[in-house]
Amino acid sequence: MSFVTVCDLQADVVIKSLDSDWQDYEDSVQSMTAMDTFADCIVTRNKKDFRKSVIPVYTIDELMSLM
């Protein structure tokens, strides 16, 4: 079973992230890439950094408990 996908960074995501109101550029890039690639969720150790994400955000422990 494969449940991790590494996504390529697209130029339009970079531009959207630079123009976004996110405080952290890298978090914005990750969230917008997740949206562009129709990701099911974002897995991170710092959920608070993704409060603006429209994609569900989980810690690894939360994700594992859902499986």
pLDDT at 52: 92
Is residue 2 domain-resident? no
pTM of the model: 0.82
pLDDT at 67: 84
pLDDT at 2: 67
Is residue 48 domain-resident? yes
Is residue 30 domain-resident? yes
How far apart CA 16 and CA 36 sit, in angstroms, is: 11
Give the residue numbers spanning the domain of 20.
Answer: 11-66
Is residue 5 domain-resident? no
Is residue 54 domain-resident? yes
- Number of domains, the chain: 1
When pLDDT is averaged across residues 6-24 and rounded to a whole number, the result is 92
Is residue 20 domain-resident? yes
* Confidence check: pLDDT of 31 > 90: yes
Element containing residue 65 per DSSP (H, E)? helix 60-66
The pLDDT confidence band at residue 14, using thresholds 50, 70 and 90, is very high
Is residue 57 domain-resident? yes
With the C-alpha atoms ordered 52, 45, 29, 5, is the resulting torsion angle positive or negative? negative
Is residue 6 domain-resident? no
